[in-house]
Structure 1
Amino acid sequence: MTGHISFDVKRVTNITSIFMSLNGKAEVRWTTRTMSRRRTRTHTHKAEIDLFTVITGNNAIGRTVLQEGAQVYPFTFQLPQGDFPSTFKGVHGRVVYFLKVEIHRSLHITKVFETEFNFSRHIDSNHPQLLAPLSGSNSHMVWGLCCASGPVEMTVHLDRKGFVPGETIKIACEFRNSSLRSATPNATLVQNQKYSALDTSVRIECKTLDSVTGEPVKSGTLQAYSEMTLTIPDTSLSISNCSIIDVNYDVLVTLSPCRS
């Protein structure tokens, strides 16, 4: 990582030192309440992990005098080796990476500036395990007027398991509707967020990222084919290498009988 820090100095200023550091951390936090006869108690569940902190000797300057006008200091950081999770901001936690600059002056409070940057963990989307196709099937008996009217069945196929942000998921569906009512297919892309605190508490949140409704399958249709598509948002990344935050994705397909 390369860049520069710059100062717009209004008057001659004495600087003791400038320190720069590259940081990564993961943190979760949420609260719950319990009721008793006399009072309500609030419990805070939290955890934090320091992923790394890098400070290089070249990022500290000795005592110097900054003259009026623009002052520019270039810097270079080498990201440490390691399997770090991608940047993520969720309902109850986040994985964040940031550059911190500290300016020290004699007899003055230290000035601290932080700026965040995005980090994307590299995943080989051509790995055989991610290229393997997926399929699933299910059936359900539809009831009407206290008696069974017939089953609805579906089989769903995905051409592979792994996708990257911005791609489109093509869902091939096979339906059989032996009931007395039409049935409507729906596909949903769901993001599952799992947060784990130090006190072993766990919080799970589900977020719908995309949804599509297909054409109704008429009653008595013994074989129907349909293709639905879902788009993965550009900011959606999996997290499976962090002990306090886990993020994964599901494609849910339903076939719901229409109301009479």
Structure 2
Amino acid sequence: MVLGKVKTLAVCFDYLNDNNVPVYSGGDSVSGRVIIEVAGEVRVKTLNITARGVAKVRWTESRNAGANTAYTQNYTEEVEYLNHSDTLIGEERDEDSPEEALTVLNTGLHEFAFSFLLPQMPLATSFEGKHGSVRYWVRAELYRPWLLPVRVKKEFTVFEHIDINTPLLLAPQAGTKDKTLCCWFCASGPISLSAKIERKGYTPGESLQIFAEVENCSSRVVVPKAALCQTQTYFAKGKARQLQQQVAALRGDTLSQGKSQSWDGKLLHIPPVSPSILDCPLIRVEYSLMVYVDIPGGLNLSLSLPLVIGTIPLHAFTSRTSSISSYCCTVSWPERPEAPPSYSDLAVTEEQRRGCLERCEGSEVNQEGQGTLQAYITEFRFQPPPLYSEVDPNPEPSSGGQETRPLTLSLRTTLTCSEQTGNYTYR
């Protein structure tokens, strides 16, 4: 009997993003298929899948302990986020299974579905760095009697979502620094730098709006610049290893002595970079905007503004509110509000009132049986107010069958007016 041959063993995921990459986050369901292509008859003992997620850090440090002696120390740490196993064909056994327990695959393609849930916990975002990585993968292993196993591994991406629509990440970032250059006994004027950005949180593909002021009072020619920096920090055995690199940069105009320069929203594009990793105990990825003044022959004057690169972009309403808040912060309000006008400026004097009555005396009302406006005003001024009474038109009957009498309230006041002052008095 001629044994068949396994031509292809592959792992395919069901849900892919626009770039044809499987992307998930904590609590999501990961599903897919193991595809086997065989030629002839292939007897299979078991087909297993294993899903793993591991954060791993490793670096080496060497020190010279003498003329001919070198001391080398390895720093290695590992944290496991995911460990799931499942058997798609057969059962796990230590010995070879009997003939009747084997599964026979005929010539052609065969698919076996799998599915599992990621843990409901914050997972570290997939990352590849110089001294460490965070990786997630699914491994398929095909076991046959008396033959070596066939293995295949397929990685998938996990994002721990960071929503930048939070008050902490929407807060503006700003700073100011200055520096005085000196050479032996000759001191030049200071170089001042101030910078501001609208918020702390951004997503890849956005552009940073940089507002900066640079004033050069020194005797040197300087150049203002800005850079988006990524800082990777690795932890192992109580020690840390740090690596910093630029991922984007821009340059301003050259400033000679006594000149200044303003950046009114100068744009710095954020390229596709890994989101910030802030919760992993082994690997930490942070970002900052470095606005600095390049000083030839001296140390640069730099200002660092912290950033967080997230995965959930800015909402439209939040963007509008943030822009309004940023605009309001730039408006210069008066230190003290103006006092309201006094009552004496608004009060009507007796002469003004009499003049108004004289102008209205000749005017007539177009309705029949009506007098002049002066007559109405005079009648209103000297008549007392009407009586006030309140009667319940629909009284509710009491539970005992007794009739209730309406409640009548009577209030009478007398309104008198002083001819000299024109003031009204109630009694």
The TM-score normalised by the length of structure 2 is 0.57
Q: 1:60 to 1:251 in 2, by over 3 A?
A: same
Gaps of 5+ in 2: 1-29, 91-101, 298-427
Distance 2:227 2:258 in 1: 26
* Structure 2 equivalent of residue 21 of structure 1: 50
Structure 1 range deviating more: 105-114 or 123-132? 105-114
Distance 1:28 1:230 in 2: 32
Distance 1:185 1:2 in 2: 51
Local SS of the residue matching 1:130: helix
Shift of 1:150: 0.4
Local SS of the residue matching 1:18: strand
* Structure 2 equivalent of residue 253 of structure 1: 291
Bigger strand fraction: 1
Q: Percent identity?
A: 31
Distance 1:194 1:257 in 2: 29
* Structure 2 equivalent of residue 55 of structure 1: 85
Matching of residue 96 in structure 1 with residue 135 in structure 2: yes
Q: 1:27 to 1:39 in 2, by over 3 A?
A: same
Contact 2:82-2:118 at 8 Å conserved across structures: no
Distance 1:193 1:181 in 2: 34
Distance 1:118 1:229 in 2: 30
Q: 1:33 to 1:145 in 2, by over 3 A?
A: closer
* Structure 2 equivalent of residue 240 of structure 1: 278
Distance 2:81 2:247 in 1: 28
Contact 2:214-2:224 at 8 Å conserved across structures: no
The correspondence for 1:133, drawn from 159, 169, 172, is: 172
* Structure 2 equivalent of residue 8 of structure 1: 37
Contact 1:177-1:220 at 8 Å conserved across structures: yes
Shift of 1:106: 2.1
Shift of 1:102: 1.5
Shift of 1:201: 2.1
Shift of 1:224: 2.9
* Structure 2 equivalent of residue 111 of structure 1: 150
Distance 1:50 1:258 in 2: 48
Gaps of 5+ in 1: none
Matching of residue 40 in structure 1 with residue 78 in structure 2: no
* Structure 2 equivalent of residue 157 of structure 1: 196
* Structure 2 equivalent of residue 180 of structure 1: 219
Matching of residue 231 in structure 1 with residue 261 in structure 2: no
Larger Rg: 2
Per-residue CA shift, 1:121-142, capped at 9, x if unaligned?
Answer: 1111111111110001100012
Distance 2:43 2:166 in 1: 55
Distance 1:55 1:235 in 2: 32
Q: How does 1:199-210 map to 2 (within 5 A)?
A: 199-210=237-248
| Letter aligned with residue 153 of structure 2 | E
Q: Could you say what the CA RMSD is over the residues aligned between the two structures, in angstroms? A: 1.8
Contact 1:187-1:228 at 8 Å conserved across structures: no
Shift of 1:145: 7.0
Shift of 1:115: 0.9
Shift of 1:105: 1.7
Distance 1:54 1:233 in 2: 35
* Structure 2 equivalent of residue 189 of structure 1: 228
Q: Of the two structures, which has the highest relative contact order with CA contacts closer than 8 Å and spacing of 6 or more?
A: 1
Shift of 1:206: 0.8
Shift of 1:258: 5.0
Distance 2:135 2:35 in 1: 23
| Letter aligned with residue 106 of structure 2 | Q
Contact 1:195-1:245 at 8 Å conserved across structures: yes
The TM-score normalised by the length of structure 1 is 0.91
* Structure 2 equivalent of residue 142 of structure 1: 181
Shift of 1:176: 1.9
| Letter aligned with residue 49 of structure 2 | M
Structure 1 range deviating more: 165-174 or 44-53? 165-174
Distance 1:104 1:195 in 2: 38
* Structure 1 equivalent of residue 253 of structure 2: 215
